[in-house]
Amino acid sequence: MADRMSPLVLSTESVSAQEAFDYWRDSVCAMYVRMQVDPLTSADFHARIEYATLENSVGLSRVRADAQRARRRPVDLQADAEDCVLGVITLDGQAVLEQDGRTVDAKPGTLIFLDSTRPYSATWTSTYEELVVQVPTRSISVTDTRSLTAQAFGPGTVAPVVTSCFTSLFDLVSTGPAQAAPLVPHALGLFGAAVATAARRKSEPEEITAVLRQQVFDFLHSHACDPELGADTVASACGVSRRTLYRIVGGGGVAHHIREIRIDRAKKLLQRERYQSMGAIAAACGFGSESGFHRAFRESVGATPADYRQMVRP
């Protein structure tokens, strides 16, 4: 599965300027769904898709492209082998999306759903970047998606959690597919919770757990450098009991995950900061003492911090 997850890259840089938009139109239809795509600029067109296939035919992709308009027309609806729900996460730029009689502005940080079984359109007036989660309709527990399409979900909704999860997952898929594979079911559960919330349907227990787990790990990554961080602090900040917290984080408990996050940061510092002292690195990563850092690092990595720095030096 890990090898299959490695992103396929399609870029207009691989063809001549005269062929660029035709190549892009074909790429969009091949990776997503059949639609009419037209440029909105007479200048040279540049675009790029990095597309990874996860389990159960779920697609995760990052798109960066110049201004254009895409229309999913009635004539296009019968051209695809499988229907899907698209979760569009805007990272940069702006767009106007239309479906089911609604028009919505897509801005950085928003999550918007579209359903390939009905016509829709999207217009980008300038260069944009977005993350697209593509899930087969058969995997979605909402039977009628008309209540969730073409609406912007942003701060104060599940959108920031979904954005954080899938942005991190895509980065991991790009650099370490084998490490990303175990996280895919959790991410898909989170997507299901977002769909349920958008459709105003009560989430299933596993979907609720997926949202809580993402919130907990977002908090751990943001606060791991605090040497006083512990289970009580995490539980209080995330609004769960200690018992629920330990059920959410799974094997090893909270302390184990905090330590692993700190070790991972220490490894990056040891590789990047060739002359920073071990005491400074220990403090920067949240360890209470240099000796505690040395012991934890050796237990986790199998080498001392100094030996590890020597091994990874350019």
- Residues 269-291 have pLDDT tens digits of 998 888 889 999 999 999 989 99
State pLDDT tens for residues 146-187.
888 999 988 878 888 888 889 988 988 888 777 777 778 888
Count CA within 13 A, CB hemisphere, residue 86: 26
Stretch 122-129: mean pLDDT: 95
How far apart CA 172 and CA 178 sit, in angstroms, is: 9
Beta-sheet pairing, 59-65 with 47-53: antiparallel
- Residue that wins the pLDDT comparison between 38 and 314: 38
Neighbours of 117 (CB within 10 A): 14
pLDDT band at residue 143 using 50, 70 and 90 as cut-offs = confident
Q: Tell me the per-residue pLDDT of 218-268, one tens digit each, with 9 for 90 and over.
A: 888 888 888 889 888 888 887 778 888 888 787 678 888 899 999 989 998
pLDDT band at 2 (very low <50, low <70, confident <90, very high): very low
- Range of weakest confidence among 100-109, 112-121, 243-252: 243-252
Q: Between 206 and 3, whose confidence is greater? A: 206
The two structure tokens encoding residue 128: 């944009």
Question: What per-residue string of b and e applies to 178-198 under the rule 16 or more CB within 10 Å gives b?
Answer: eebbebbebbbbbbbbbbbbb
Look up tokens 């997507």; give the residue: 191
In this structure, the number of other CB atoms found within 10 A of the CB of residue 212 comes to 21
* pLDDT tier at 1, thresholds 50, 70, 90: very low
Give the phi and the psi of residue 38 in degrees, each rounded to 5: -130, 140
User: Confidence band (pLDDT; 50, 70, 90) for 201?
Assistant: low
CA pair distance 289, 109, nearest whole angstrom: 38
Q: What is the pLDDT of residue 47?
A: 96
Phi, psi dihedral angles at 248 (to 5 degrees): -70, -45
- If pLDDT is split at 50, 70 and 90, which confidence band does 3 have? low
User: 107 near 152, Cβ under 8 Å?
Assistant: yes
